[in-house]
Amino acid sequence: MIFAACDLGGTNTRAALIDETGRILSRVSQSTLQSSADALIDSVIRLITAIATEDCPGLAALDGIAVAVAGTVDSISGTVVTSPNLPFADTPLRDRLSAAFGRPVIIENDALAAALGEARFGAGRGAGDVVMLAIGTGIGGGIVVDGRPYRGTAGGAGEIGHMVIDPAGPLCACGRHGCLEAMAAGPAIAARARAAVKKTTDTAILEIAGEDIAAITAETVGRAAAAGDPLAQGILEAVAEIIGVGAANIANLLNPAVIILGGGVMTGDKIILETARRVVRDTALAPNRDASIVAAALGGDAGLLGAASLCLK
**CATH class belonging to 126-296:** alpha beta
The pLDDT of residue 51: 87
Rounded CA gap, 16 and 107, in Å? 15
What is the total residue count of the chain?
A: 313
Report pLDDT digits (tens) over 213-265.
Answer: 999 999 999 999 999 999 999 999 999 999 999 999 999 999 999 999 998 88
pLDDT band of residue 15 (cuts 50, 70, 90) is very high
> In the structure, what pLDDT confidence band is assigned to residue 36 with cuts at 50, 70 and 90?
very high
pTM: 0.88
How far apart CA 169 and CA 174 sit, in angstroms, is 13
Please list the residue range(s) of the chain that carry CATH number 3.30.420.40.
Answer: 2-116+301-311, 126-296
pLDDT bin (cut points 50, 70, 90) of residue 77 is: very high
d(CA 44, CA 208): 37
Do 254 and 290 touch, CB atoms closer than 8 A? no
pLDDT for 122-153, tens place per residue? 999 989 899 999 998 889 899 999 999 999 88
Predicted pLDDT at 213: 93
- As beta bridge partners, residue 130 has 144, 258
pLDDT tens digit sequence for 175-205: 999 999 999 999 999 999 999 999 987 899 9
For residue 159, the surrounding DSSP H or E stretch is: none
CATH 3.30.420.40 fits 2-116+301-311, yes or no: yes
Higher pLDDT, 290 or 57: 290
Rounded distance between C-alpha atoms, residue 14 and residue 31, angstroms: 9
